[in-house]
């Protein structure tokens, strides 16, 4: 029997009627699915893709390509299929879920709530697609979306998808320089933004940042501006004649019918920039069908999605979590997805729980940083609210320590809810190693077991795969439908970043331990990527911002354990000969990082050092700096290869000031 003929592959709507949209309800089912996906990946995922995605032309092909030949032939899934992603997320739900709430928006102030049904969302997306087409956006062209957490951000994404255009959402905390880099790299012709964003009672000057980013840039012909606050201070919002258009003058007046463009399964859906060890952020490309299949499957399976769920992911749409688990996965599954504009501590530290109780949220998904921040305020703000609606709690973005896990489980989940610690990355498109809510026995601090389709391997320093328990670098062995296909405009960079370290394997950049039960414990990045409050940033990005200022000659940036943020940023800097004003240099250093990356990038410790520890061939030994920042100067290891070992002592003494 082929996968497609199996009797347990039932129509999505039958499963919905039965209560759950997941086929995996216990460990035997998990093992069975995992084994099937391993034995016949093409067949298993083809069957999933057919039932979870709405096709114009159903695919007959499963996987083409592998990790060995990825340089010459990119990975393809469902290659001969045709679809439009927005039809899977909207049109096909109209008949049965037209009046169901698709997006439940909670604004910065708790009193601001908006609900958009699937019919309303469909109409808005059609209007937006018509308006964007009118502005000249065509299939394959790129649009930058630089917005806050408003429904219009999701509408803009889906409208691009409807036209077959490629969106690149830039997190609203990024600076003008970072926006400009991304506009240039992807060659965007349109920017979609809003006047101001709202966060914790403050205005975020999104339009003003776009104006600064586009100064002197001629590639962007139109800027579409959603008006979030008609009373926003005038100095934050100036419109440029001929280039800038208000959303309410264009989108609101457009027709609410729109014929979606037919796309190939492997046409790009979006580009999302993410930080790596070296150089500027990379534009990872996700394609239509494989990404949608992966996000829909994982969203349903991990969270055990039910038809009447009120599902809330508190991430930002600007990161991959927002793409996969606020927009594409939930809407493809016909779920009610909450978009939350504010922060967990506004107007008070009980904001999340107040929101859970008011909307009767059943699945709640957030980052360990938020949990640690709220746990510091004790259980009272949680206990004030009736959280009996909750069934599944999720975390994402960084390792969660067992203490924070227990707090989430006991205080928030009242020992009743499953806690799913989901490990994945921008590159993987969706969850890879995670508990399945109804099935997997949890261990606090472990992401537990791989989903079907995911074959993890731990590799030691000699590139040997470990058998059984042990610790090593986490690689994944075989392509799954959601893996990013390339780096925009630079396929070689994609190959060299992910597939050359261990040939034939995808290298994640993470370290990981496997215990005797086969459970995975992510230990964090083993490369030069920082994870601060779940925000992924490259040390190289900090360093290039720092050495660009006049006062500094050299800089090396490393992470260190931080009790709330997960990691803090420690910058070692060397003054330029002749500069001796440390206060001025420090001020400019902070300013430079903010201007180059954004407000979310902050140096926690800035340490002036006489020199960096370098080998005789001039290579900076970051390992030593990392150990010093971590407060373990007694574990530096061999420093005899340094050109000037005495520099280490001075750095260690200086670092004591910080710990």
Q: Which residues bind ligand WTA (CB under 6 A)?
A: 274, 319-321, 396-399, 421-426, 447, 508-510, 522, 524-525, 531, 536
Quote the least distance from Cβ 431 to ligand WTA, whole Å. Answer: 9
Residue from 288, 146, 151 nearest 220 by CA: 146
How far apart, in whole angstroms, are the C-alpha atoms of residue 282 and residue 485? 12
Looking at the Cβ atoms of 86 and 539, the one nearer to ligand WTA is 539
Which ranges constitute the DSSP H helices of 239-306?
247-250, 288-303
Quote the least distance from Cβ 85 to ligand WTA, whole Å. Answer: 20
Long-range contacts of 92-100 (CB under 8 A, 24+ apart): 92/54, 93/118, 93/334, 94/118, 94/119, 94/122, 96/13, 96/334, 97/334, 100/334, 100/336
* Strand stretches in 240-352, DSSP E: 244-246, 263-264, 268-274, 282-287, 310-313, 336-340
Looking at the Cβ atoms of 247 and 319, the one nearer to ligand WTA is 319
Quote the least distance from Cβ 470 to ligand WTA, whole Å. Answer: 18
Q: Which residue is nearest to ligand WTA (CB)?
A: 426
Quote the least distance from Cβ 594 to ligand WTA, whole Å. Answer: 20
Residue from 287, 269, 296 nearest 142 by CA: 269
Quote the least distance from Cβ 321 to ligand WTA, whole Å. Answer: 5
How far apart, in whole angstroms, are the C-alpha atoms of residue 433 and residue 431? 6
Looking at the Cβ atoms of 120 and 337, the one nearer to ligand WTA is 337
How far apart, in whole angstroms, are the C-alpha atoms of residue 151 and residue 167? 16
Looking at the Cβ atoms of 152 and 510, the one nearer to ligand WTA is 510
Quote the least distance from Cβ 33 to ligand WTA, whole Å. Answer: 21
Looking at the Cβ atoms of 20 and 508, the one nearer to ligand WTA is 508
Pairing label, strands 63-64, 76-77:
antiparallel
Quote the least distance from Cβ 603 to ligand WTA, whole Å. Answer: 20
Looking at the Cβ atoms of 340 and 506, the one nearer to ligand WTA is 506
Residue 378 to residues 350, 372, 408: CA-CA distances in angstroms?
A: 11, 10, 11
Map residue 396 onto helix, strand or coil. Answer: strand
Quote the least distance from Cβ 323 to ligand WTA, whole Å. Answer: 10
Quote the least distance from Cβ 275 to ligand WTA, whole Å. Answer: 8
How far apart, in whole angstroms, are the C-alpha atoms of residue 161 and residue 53? 14
Through-space distance between the first and last CA atoms of the chain, rounded to whole angstroms:
63
Quote the least distance from Cβ 369 to ligand WTA, whole Å. Answer: 12
Which two tokens mark 498? 């992910």
Kindly write down the DSSP assignment for every residue of 375-386, as one continuous string.
HTT-SHHHHTS-
Quote the least distance from Cβ 426 to ligand WTA, whole Å. Answer: 3
Looking at the Cβ atoms of 537 and 552, the one nearer to ligand WTA is 537
Residue from 464, 419, 471, 466 nearest 440 by CA: 419
Give every CB contact of residue 584 below 8 A, 6+ residues apart in sequence.
551
Quote the least distance from Cβ 278 to ligand WTA, whole Å. Answer: 16
Looking at the Cβ atoms of 49 and 433, the one nearer to ligand WTA is 433
Looking at the Cβ atoms of 105 and 423, the one nearer to ligand WTA is 423
Quote the least distance from Cβ 513 to ligand WTA, whole Å. Answer: 12
User: Hey, what's the torsion of the CAs at 65, 66, 68, 74, to 10 degrees?
Assistant: 50
Place of tokens 């290891």: 637
CA atoms within 13 A on the CB side of 34: 18
Pairing label, strands 142-146, 263-264:
unpaired
Looking at the Cβ atoms of 106 and 398, the one nearer to ligand WTA is 398
Return phi, psi of residue 193, to 5°: -145, -165
How far apart, in whole angstroms, are the C-alpha atoms of residue 115 and residue 487? 36
Looking at the Cβ atoms of 120 and 425, the one nearer to ligand WTA is 425
CA geometry: angle 208, 210, 215, nearest 5 deg: 100
**What distance lies between CA 189 and its chain's CA centroid?**
24
CA geometry: angle 445, 320, 77, nearest 5 deg: 105
Looking at the Cβ atoms of 118 and 270, the one nearer to ligand WTA is 270
Looking at the Cβ atoms of 129 and 320, the one nearer to ligand WTA is 320
Looking at the Cβ atoms of 319 and 519, the one nearer to ligand WTA is 319
- Helix then strand then coil, in percent of the chain rounded to 5, is 35, 25, 45
Quote the least distance from Cβ 422 to ligand WTA, whole Å. Answer: 5
Residue from 391, 420, 498 nearest 70 by CA: 498
């Amino acid at each position: 029997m082929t996968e497609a003929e199996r009797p347990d592959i039932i129509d999505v709507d039958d499963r919905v009627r039965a209560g759950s949209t997941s086929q995996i309800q216990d460990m035997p089912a998990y093992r069975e699915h995992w084994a099937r996906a391993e034995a016949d990946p093409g067949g298993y995922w083809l069957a999933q893709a057919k039932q979870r995605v709405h096709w114009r032309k159903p695919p007959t092909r499963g996987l083409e390509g592998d990790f060995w030949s990825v340089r010459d032939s990119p990975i393809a899934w469902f290659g001969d299929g045709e679809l439009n992603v927005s039809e899977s997320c909207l049109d096909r739900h109209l008949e049965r879920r037209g009046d169901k709430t698709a997006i439940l928006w909670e604004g910065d102030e708790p009193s601001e709530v908006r609900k958009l049904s699937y019919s309303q969302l469909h109409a808005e997306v059609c209007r937006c697609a018509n308006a964007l087409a009118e502005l000249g956006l065509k299939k394959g062209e790129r649009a930058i979306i630089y917005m806050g957490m408003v429904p219009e951000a999701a509408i803009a994404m889906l409208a691009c998808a409807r036209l077959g255009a490629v969106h690149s959402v830039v997190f609203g905390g990024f600076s003008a320089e970072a926006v400009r880099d991304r506009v240039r790299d992807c060659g965007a012709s349109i920017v979609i933004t809003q006047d101001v964003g709202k966060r914790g009672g403050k205005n975020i000057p999104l339009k003003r940042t776009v104006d600064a980013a586009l100064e002197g840039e001629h590639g962007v012909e139109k800027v579409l501006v959603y008006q979030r606050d008609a009373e926003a201070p005038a100095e934050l919002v100036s419109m440029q004649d001929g280039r800038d258009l208000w959303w309410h003058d264009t989108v609101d007046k457009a027709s609410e019918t729109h014929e979606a463009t037919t796309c190939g399964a492997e046409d790009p859906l979006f580009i999302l920039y993410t930080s790596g060890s070296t150089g500027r952020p990379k534009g990872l490309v996700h394609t239509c069908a494989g990404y949608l299949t992966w996000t829909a499957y994982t969203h349903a399976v991990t969270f055990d999605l039910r038809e009447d769920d009120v599902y809330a992911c508190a991430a930002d749409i600007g990161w991959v979590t927002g793409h996969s688990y606020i927009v594409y996965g939930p809407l493809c599954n016909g779920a009610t997805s909450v978009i939350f504009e504010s922060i967990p501590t506004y107007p008070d530290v009980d904001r999340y729980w107040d929101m859970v109780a008011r909307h009767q949220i059943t699945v709640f998904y957030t980052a360990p940083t938020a949990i640690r921040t709220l746990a510091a305020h004790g259980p009272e703000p949680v206990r004030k609210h009736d959280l009996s609606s909750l069934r599944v709690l999720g975390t994402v973005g960084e390792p969660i320590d067992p203490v924070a896990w227990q707090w989430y489980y006991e205080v928030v989940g009242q020992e009743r809810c499953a806690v799913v610690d989901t490990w994945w990355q921008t590159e993987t498109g969706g969850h890879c190693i995670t508990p399945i809510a109804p099935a997997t026995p949890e261990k606090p601090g472990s992401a537990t077991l791989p989903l079907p389709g995911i074959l993890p391997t731990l590799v030691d320093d000699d590139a040997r795969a470990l058998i059984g328990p042990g610790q090593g670098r986490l690689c994944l062995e075989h392509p799954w439908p959601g893996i990013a296909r390339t780096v925009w405009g630079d396929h070689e960079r994609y190959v060299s970043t992910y597939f050359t370290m261990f040939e034939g394997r995808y290298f994640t950049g993470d370290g990981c331990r496997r215990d005797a039960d086969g459970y995975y414990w992510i230990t964090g990045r083993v490369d030069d990527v920082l994870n601060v409050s779940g925000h992924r940033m490259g040390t190289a990005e900090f360093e290039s911002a720092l050495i660009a200022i006049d006062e500094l000659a050299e800089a090396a940036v490393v992470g260190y354990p931080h009790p709330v943020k997960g990691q803090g940023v420690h910058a070692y800097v060397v003054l330029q000969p002749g500069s001796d004003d440390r206060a001025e240099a420090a001020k400019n250093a902070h300013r430079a990082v903010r201007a180059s990356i954004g407000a979310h990038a902050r140096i926690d410790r800035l340490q002036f050092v006489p020199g960096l520890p370098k080998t005789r061939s001039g290579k900076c030994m970051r390992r030593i700096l990392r150990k010093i920042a971590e407060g373990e100067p007694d574990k530096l290891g061999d420093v005899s290869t340094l050109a000037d070992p005495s520099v280490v002592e001075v750095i260690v003494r200086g670092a004591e000031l910080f710990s």
